[in-house]
Amino acid sequence: MNLLEKSLQDDLRRFFEEDDLHGNAFYLRELPATPVECLLKIKSDLTMCGLPFFVAAFNFLGAKLDYHSFKKYEGVKMHEGDLIAFNLPFALALSGERVALNLLQHASAIASFTQKFSELAKPHGIKILDTRKTVPGMRSLEKYAVRVGGGYNHRFSQSDVWMIKDNHKSYFGGLKPAWDFFQKMHTHYQSIVVEIHSLDELAMAIDLGVEHVMLDNFSSAMIGQALSLKTKGMTYEISGGINLANCTEYFIKGIDALSIGALTHSAPHVDLSLKIKPLENRINRDSYEF
């Protein structure tokens, strides 16, 4: 078991409990363990992502799949009609199918969507960032998928990077007292990012020595003015309402990154299926009904 598989054990336990795998002991006992061929069929163009999770789901049930047999497909653009074949005992293939496919499909959707943004942004040297707008319990998978799709991870939690947002400023009474609060955390190597909502607030952040700012819902005109204020060593991240139709408007020299919540909360569906046949039928793949 590799380190990633080991780290997923608690999550996989919850996923299979949700599928009520333990609910009928007689059924589980009677499921045949005969080896079968499994065909993973790609039913829409996509960037394949999540195969370590897919393999781990079957191995959690006792399979002995080797991820290295699947590794060549991870992060690869695949097309409708492509197939990935592997063998499993029938009982494990049938019992693990839904959880494994759900993880793979979700990750592939995010990676495919992220790659569309990343390919547009790469020539301009601008990074595409995710956010914490992730499904509870799915953050590790979703942020992994963003990376596979060519994007970059923002923060993983509330405290791995301090981020001063509007609610902090509202509670503490403005940017300065909120900044002072986080300075008192005395985390020497931890960055502080400040969400900025106006040019006046940006000027204040620069006076405070803020290095990393997120310009939230800035118009094109405001971005131009903000860039004229940018000092050496600062990074500018743009956020708010960015989508595939308008992202090119933000590919401006001096912008370092775009953060896009839609990468994880609104990635369009991709289609995959898994079909199982006895090994003696494996050469007649035209008989599979997908």
Own/partner contacts of 269-272, CB < 8 Å, gap of 24 or more, are 269/105, 269/109, 270/44, 270/46, 270/105, 270/108, 270/109, 270/112, 271/42, 271/43, 271/44, 271/105, 272/40, 272/41, 272/42, 272/43, 272/46, 272/101, 272/104, 272/105, 272/108
Residue in 6, 43, 133, 143 annotated catalytic: 133
Distance CA 112, CA 16 (A): 26
- For tokens 């409708």, the residue is 80
Q: Does 77 qualify as catalytic in the annotation?
A: no
Distance CA 2, CA 56 (A): 9
Q: How does DSSP classify residue 152?
A: B
- H or E element that contains 148: helix 139-148
- H or E element that contains 114: helix 90-121
Residue 42: helix, strand or coil by DSSP?
Answer: strand
Distance CA 180, CA 201 (A): 15
Which alpha helices (H) appear in 173-240, and where do they start and end? 175-183, 199-208, 220-229
Distance of CA 252 to the CA centre of its chain: 25
- For tokens 């759900």, the residue is 102
Catalytic residue positions, numbered = 133
